[in-house]
Protein backbone atom coordinates (compact mmCIF):
# COMPACT_ATOMS: atom_id res chain seq x y z
CA UNK A 1 0.00 0.00 0.00
CA UNK A 2 2.87 2.37 0.89
CA UNK A 3 4.54 1.78 -2.52
CA UNK A 4 1.29 2.56 -4.31
CA UNK A 5 0.98 5.87 -2.43
CA UNK A 6 4.58 6.84 -3.26
CA UNK A 7 3.98 5.94 -6.89
CA UNK A 8 0.86 8.16 -6.98
CA UNK A 9 2.77 11.09 -5.48
CA UNK A 10 5.62 10.67 -7.98
CA UNK A 11 3.19 10.33 -10.89
CA UNK A 12 1.29 13.45 -9.82
CA UNK A 13 4.54 15.39 -9.49
CA UNK A 14 5.72 14.25 -12.90
CA UNK A 15 2.38 15.17 -14.48
CA UNK A 16 2.52 18.64 -12.91
CA UNK A 17 6.08 19.15 -14.14
CA UNK A 18 5.20 18.05 -17.67
CA UNK A 19 2.14 20.30 -17.69
CA UNK A 20 4.22 23.31 -16.63
CA UNK A 21 6.97 22.63 -19.19
CA UNK A 22 5.10 23.90 -22.31
CA UNK A 23 4.04 27.05 -20.47
CA UNK A 24 7.65 27.69 -19.44
CA UNK A 25 8.81 27.10 -23.00
CA UNK A 26 6.22 29.57 -24.34
CA UNK A 27 7.24 32.22 -21.80
CA UNK A 28 10.90 31.66 -22.63
CA UNK A 29 10.19 31.80 -26.38
CA UNK A 30 8.19 35.03 -25.99
CA UNK A 31 11.01 36.66 -24.03
CA UNK A 32 13.52 35.47 -26.63
CA UNK A 33 11.43 36.87 -29.47
CA UNK A 34 11.10 40.19 -27.67
CA UNK A 35 14.86 40.45 -27.20
CA UNK A 36 15.42 39.45 -30.83
CA UNK A 37 12.89 42.09 -31.97
CA UNK A 38 14.64 44.78 -29.89
CA UNK A 39 17.97 43.84 -31.45
CA UNK A 40 16.31 43.85 -34.88
CA UNK A 41 14.97 47.34 -34.26
CA UNK A 42 18.48 48.54 -33.44
CA UNK A 43 19.74 47.03 -36.71
CA UNK A 44 16.83 48.43 -38.76
CA UNK A 45 17.17 51.92 -37.29
CA UNK A 46 20.98 51.91 -37.22
CA UNK A 47 22.67 53.77 -40.05
CA UNK A 48 25.66 51.40 -40.31
CA UNK A 49 24.24 47.98 -41.25
CA UNK A 50 20.51 47.52 -41.77
CA UNK A 51 19.71 51.18 -42.37
CA UNK A 52 16.11 50.33 -43.32
CA UNK A 53 15.12 53.94 -42.55
CA UNK A 54 17.18 55.17 -45.50
CA UNK A 55 14.43 53.90 -47.80
CA UNK A 56 11.45 52.89 -45.65
CA UNK A 57 9.07 54.72 -43.35
CA UNK A 58 8.21 52.81 -40.19
CA UNK A 59 6.73 53.51 -36.79
CA UNK A 60 9.25 55.03 -34.41
CA UNK A 61 11.80 55.86 -37.08
CA UNK A 62 13.21 59.35 -37.54
CA UNK A 63 14.30 60.78 -40.90
CA UNK A 64 12.68 57.94 -42.83
CA UNK A 65 13.06 57.57 -46.56
CA UNK A 66 10.30 57.16 -49.12
CA UNK A 67 12.01 55.07 -51.81
CA UNK A 68 10.63 51.75 -50.57
CA UNK A 69 7.17 50.91 -49.27
CA UNK A 70 6.20 51.84 -45.72
CA UNK A 71 6.89 48.98 -43.33
CA UNK A 72 3.66 48.39 -41.44
CA UNK A 73 1.28 45.47 -41.05
CA UNK A 74 4.15 43.14 -41.87
CA UNK A 75 2.60 40.01 -40.34
CA UNK A 76 -0.48 40.48 -42.52
CA UNK A 77 1.59 41.24 -45.62
CA UNK A 78 4.00 38.36 -45.04
CA UNK A 79 2.22 35.62 -43.06
CA UNK A 80 5.18 33.36 -43.81
CA UNK A 81 8.15 34.90 -42.00
CA UNK A 82 10.54 32.90 -44.19
CA UNK A 83 9.24 34.76 -47.24
CA UNK A 84 9.94 38.11 -45.58
CA UNK A 85 13.40 36.82 -44.62
CA UNK A 86 13.98 35.86 -48.25
CA UNK A 87 12.99 39.35 -49.47
CA UNK A 88 15.52 40.94 -47.14
CA UNK A 89 18.16 38.34 -48.05
CA UNK A 90 17.86 39.13 -51.78
CA UNK A 91 14.93 41.19 -53.08
CA UNK A 92 16.18 40.74 -56.66
CA UNK A 93 14.73 37.21 -56.63
CA UNK A 94 11.29 38.83 -56.58
CA UNK A 95 11.95 42.09 -58.41
CA UNK A 96 14.84 42.28 -60.85
CA UNK A 97 14.57 46.10 -60.99
CA UNK A 98 14.80 46.59 -57.22
CA UNK A 99 17.13 49.14 -55.68
CA UNK A 100 17.09 47.29 -52.35
CA UNK A 101 20.53 45.88 -51.55
CA UNK A 102 20.78 42.08 -51.27
CA UNK A 103 21.60 42.22 -47.56
CA UNK A 104 22.22 38.50 -47.19
CA UNK A 105 23.68 37.64 -50.56
CA UNK A 106 26.21 40.49 -50.28
CA UNK A 107 26.94 39.62 -46.64
CA UNK A 108 25.86 43.02 -45.38
CA UNK A 109 23.83 41.24 -42.70
CA UNK A 110 24.15 37.72 -41.32
CA UNK A 111 21.26 35.25 -41.24
CA UNK A 112 20.89 35.89 -37.52
CA UNK A 113 20.75 39.66 -38.03
CA UNK A 114 18.16 39.34 -40.78
CA UNK A 115 16.08 37.07 -38.54
CA UNK A 116 16.21 39.71 -35.80
CA UNK A 117 15.02 42.33 -38.27
CA UNK A 118 12.18 40.02 -39.34
CA UNK A 119 11.23 39.58 -35.67
CA UNK A 120 11.18 43.37 -35.30
CA UNK A 121 9.19 43.94 -38.50
CA UNK A 122 6.57 41.50 -37.22
CA UNK A 123 5.94 43.94 -34.35
CA UNK A 124 4.94 46.68 -36.81
From CA 112, how far away is CA 115, in angstroms rounded? 5
Residues 10-49: tens digit of each pLDDT = 444 444 444 444 443 333 445 567 888 899 999 999 988 8
Radius of gyration over every alpha carbon of the chain, rounded to an integer in angstroms: 22
Residues 76-88: tens digit of each pLDDT = 999 999 999 999 9
What H or E segment, with its residue span, contains residue 121?
helix 111-121
Q: What sign has the CA pseudo-torsion 102, 104, 105, 107?
A: positive
101: left (phi over 0), alpha (psi -120 to 50) or beta: beta
- CA dist 17 → 3, 22, 27 (Å): 21, 10, 15
Helices marked H in 2-61 = 2-45
Amino acid sequence: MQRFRIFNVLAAGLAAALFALPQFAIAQDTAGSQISAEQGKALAFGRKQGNCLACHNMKGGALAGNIGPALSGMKARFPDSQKLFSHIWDEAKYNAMTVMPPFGRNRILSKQEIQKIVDFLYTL
